[in-house]
Structure 1
Amino acid sequence: MKVGEFEAPAAPHGAAGGLIDGIGRRFEYLRLSVTDVCNFRCTYCLPDGYKKPCNRPSELSVDEVRRVVTAFAKLGLWKVRLTGGEPTLRRDFEEIARTVAQVPGIRRVAMTTNGYRLAERTVQWRAAGISAINISVDSLDPARFAEITGHDRLKQVFSGIDAAQGAGFDSIKLNAVLMRGVNDTELEAMIDFVSSRDLSLRFIEVMRTNDNAEFFAKRHVAGQSVIDRLQVLGWSRLPRQPGAGPAVEFGHQQAKGRIGIIAPYSKDFCATCNRLRMSSLGKLHLCLFGDAGIDLRPLLQSDDAQAELVERVRKLTSTKAPAHRLHQGNSGATPHLASIGG
C-alpha cells in the first residue's frame, strides 16, 4: 500500500447507517479546531497577525474534545483532523491528539500545521496517535516564504518535513495557496519538487472571506488553470480515496508524489462534501462558509449528555445546505480562515 492510501473501516456498530444530510451526502470526517490563535501572519489569512478578542471564552478542554469526538464517532465518523489557527500552540496539544486517537471508532487522526515546531516534535506527535500531517508551504523561495508568512522559517519547515518522513506518518501533504503575482510563477517548480519526492502537494485557491474581498479580487488563481497545466504535463486524475478531503488528486507515471487541487469555486465542489467542522469554542459549523456556528458546548459538560448530543448533531446535519454561496460573493459568517480551521 502506498503512502497516503488506506482502506476505509466499516461503519462502527451503533452508527445506524452513518451520518447523512438531507441530500444524501455521508459524513465521515470531522475538522476539529483546537485554537484560533496563530503565530504566523499569512497574507491570505491573518495579514495583521492574530488579535485576541476581548472577553474571549476559553478553548475546548481535553474532556470536552473527548466528548464531542465520541459523539461523532457514534455517528460513524472515523477521521478527525486537528486544526487551528496553529494547533500546536496549545500546550496540551499532544494530550488532545492522544485522547482523540483513543476514542472508539476513530481510525485516523490527522493534523494541519505551519510547521514551526515540526522538526522538534514530530516524533512525539506520531507517538500520540497522529498518522497524517499537512504542512503549509506556500513558497520554495525563502524570501518569498517570509513575505507571505511573516517569518523567515522555510529552512526550519523543510527540516521538519524531513523529520516527519522519518517518523513514519502514513500521509504527508504540503499545502500551498496559489496567489496571482505572488507565488504563481513557482507552479512548475513546485510540480518538479513533488515529482521527485514521496509527498502530496495540494494547490489551494484563495478563498474570499469577510475581511479579504480586495485581496481575493487581486490574487485569486482559478484551480482549473492549474488542472489544465497538469494535464498538459501528462498528469492524470486519480480515483478518490475513502475519507479524502476536498482535493482532486493527480498522478504521473514518472512522479513519486501526487498533486491535489482544492478549488471551491469549481462546479459541483460541494457535491462530494464529507466533512463537518467544530470550532475551538464548541460551535458546530455545517459549512466553512455557513451563516453561523451552532453552540454545542452546553452538551459537552458531562458524559451524561452524550445521547442528547448525538441526536442534536444528527438533526443539525440533516439541515446542511446543498452548497456554499461563494459564487454570489457570500462567504457567510467566516471572518477569516483561522477562525474555524479552514
Structure 2
Amino acid sequence: MLQDRFGRTIDYLRLSVTDRCDLRCTYCLPQGFRGFEEPDHWLRFDEIERLLGIFARLGTRRIRLTGGEPLLRKQLPQLAARIAALPGIEDLSLSTNGTQLARFAPELRAAGVSRLNVSLDSLDRDCVARITGSDCLDKVLGGLAAAKAAGFAPIKINMVAMRSVNDSQIDALAAFCIEQGFVLRLIEAMPIGATGQNTEWLDLGPIQQRLAARFGLLPQALELGGGPARYWVTPDGRASIGFITPMSQHFCATCNRVRLSVDGTLYLCLGQEQRYEFRPLLRGGASDAEIEAAIRAAIELKPQQHEFRSAPTKIVRFMAQTGG
C-alpha cells in the first residue's frame, strides 16, 4: 500500500483524460479560455493503462475518470474497459457535466464504469445558463434519465453552493434528488484559479442543519465511494445528501487521493503546488520498477493540508487543468 509521510493510505486516483470542456462554469473556466494542453502531450491509452496498472499493484483500488469533460475524449468507453480490467482495480467511476451522457451512458456501463457524479448546480434553466454559459439543463436531465435507465447506482449530483448565485436553489434540488433516488452532494466553492477566487463560497453548516430539519435527515455512517463527503440519509434510507466542506471544515487528515492530469502530471493536493511529472518517464524508456519508485517518491511530496483559507490566491491554475 502507498502511505504518505503523515500515515494516510493513498488508494484513490482521479485521472483527467482531457482538460477540454464544452461548458464554462463560472467557478472553473473563464469564458474565452484557450490555454489547453497540446494533444501531443496527452497521455495515450497505452501509457495510461501501464501507469495505472503500476498504481494498482501498489494498492490503488479506486479510479475516477475526470476532465475537463471526460466524455469529450474520443473512445473513452474503450479506455474505461481497459482500466476496469486491470488487476486490483475495484471501483471505476466517472465525473461528468452530463451534456454527453445520454449518448454514452449504456457504453460506459458496459465498459465497467459503476458510478457517476453529474454536475448540476440548479434546476432553474436561467440559473444553469448563467453558471455554465450554456442553455444545457435539458441535456443534463436527459443524461441523468439515460444513466438511470442504464442501471447506474448510485448516481451522485454535484452542486457547488455559491452565495447569491444558486443558494436559493438548494432546497429544490435536494427535493428533486430525494424524489429520484439520487445522492445530492453539496460542495463549498474553492479558490482555485481566478474563477474560483472570484466565487463567494457558502458555509454548508447552516445548510446541513436546515435540510436535516426539513427532510428528517439522519447521520449516515456508510461511506459512499471513498471521497470526502459527510452523508446524511432520509428516514426511509432511499436517498442521501452529502456535504463537502473544504473551506469551513477541511478533511485533509483523511485525504486518500491524488490527481493525474491529462499530460501525466501527478498533483498531490488541490490546494498546493507539489507535483510529479510521469510523461517523461513513460516516453523515456523507464522500467516498471523505475516508475514504481517514482510513484513512491511522488507520494512522499503530498502535503499535510491545503491553505484555502490562509492563502486564497495561491493556486492560479484552473480546476480543469488539475483534473476534477
**TM-score category (smaller protein):** over 0.9
List runs of 5+ in structure 2 lacking aligned partners: none
**Over aligned residues, Cα RMSD in angstroms?**
2.0
Q: Which of 78, 94, 97 is 1:111 aligned to?
A: 94
Length-normalised TM-score, structure 2: 0.93
Closer/same/farther in 2, CA of residues 21 and 211 from structure 1, 3 Å limit: same
Q: Which moved more, 1:275-284 or 1:149-158?
A: 149-158
Give 1:232's aligned residue.
213
Give 1:153's aligned residue.
136
Give 2:258's aligned residue.
276
Closer/same/farther in 2, CA of residues 271 and 259 from structure 1, 3 Å limit: same
Length-normalised TM-score, structure 1: 0.89
Question: Offset of 1:320 from its aligned partner?
Answer: 1.4
Question: Offset of 1:266 from its aligned partner?
Answer: 3.0
Match of 1:259, SS state, is strand
| 1:2-13 correspondence runs (5 A) | none
Closer/same/farther in 2, CA of residues 55 and 157 from structure 1, 3 Å limit: closer
Are 2:164 and 1:181 equivalent residues in the alignment? yes
Give 1:36's aligned residue.
19
Are 2:302 and 1:312 equivalent residues in the alignment? no
Question: Offset of 1:303 from its aligned partner?
Answer: 8.1
Match of 1:328, SS state, is coil
Match of 2:25, SS state, is coil
Question: Offset of 1:173 from its aligned partner?
Answer: 0.6
Code of the aligned partner of 1:336: F
Q: Is the 8 A contact 1:83 1:112 kept in 2?
A: yes
How many pairs are equivalent? 323
Q: Is the 8 A contact 2:193 2:319 kept in 1?
A: no
Q: Is the 8 A contact 2:15 2:262 kept in 1?
A: yes
Q: State the distance in 1 between where 2:36 and 2:97 align.
A: 22
Closer/same/farther in 2, CA of residues 242 and 179 from structure 1, 3 Å limit: closer
Q: State the distance in 2 between where 1:312 and 1:332 align.
A: 26
Q: Which of 188, 199, 206 is 2:189 aligned to?
A: 206
Q: Is the 8 A contact 1:74 1:310 kept in 2?
A: no
Q: State the distance in 2 between where 1:137 and 1:122 align.
A: 17
Q: State the distance in 2 between where 1:54 and 1:63 align.
A: 19
Q: Is the 8 A contact 2:190 2:196 kept in 1?
A: no
Seq. identity, % = 39
After superposition, give the CA deviation of every residue in 1:197-216 in whole Å (9 maximum; x if it has no partner): 21101111111023136523
Q: State the distance in 2 between where 1:331 and 1:313 align.
A: 29
Give 2:55's aligned residue.
72
Question: Offset of 1:252 from its aligned partner?
Answer: 1.6
Are 2:227 and 1:241 equivalent residues in the alignment? no
Q: State the distance in 1 between where 2:116 and 2:285 align.
A: 30
Q: Is the 8 A contact 1:39 1:86 kept in 2?
A: yes
Question: Offset of 1:267 from its aligned partner?
Answer: 3.1
Code of the aligned partner of 1:35: T
Give 2:267's aligned residue.
285
Q: State the distance in 2 between where 1:281 and 1:314 align.
A: 19
Match of 1:211, SS state, is helix
Q: State the distance in 2 between where 1:49 and 1:248 align.
A: 35
After superposition, give the CA deviation of every residue in 1:59-91 in whole Å (9 maximum; x if it has no partner): 110011101111110111111000000011111
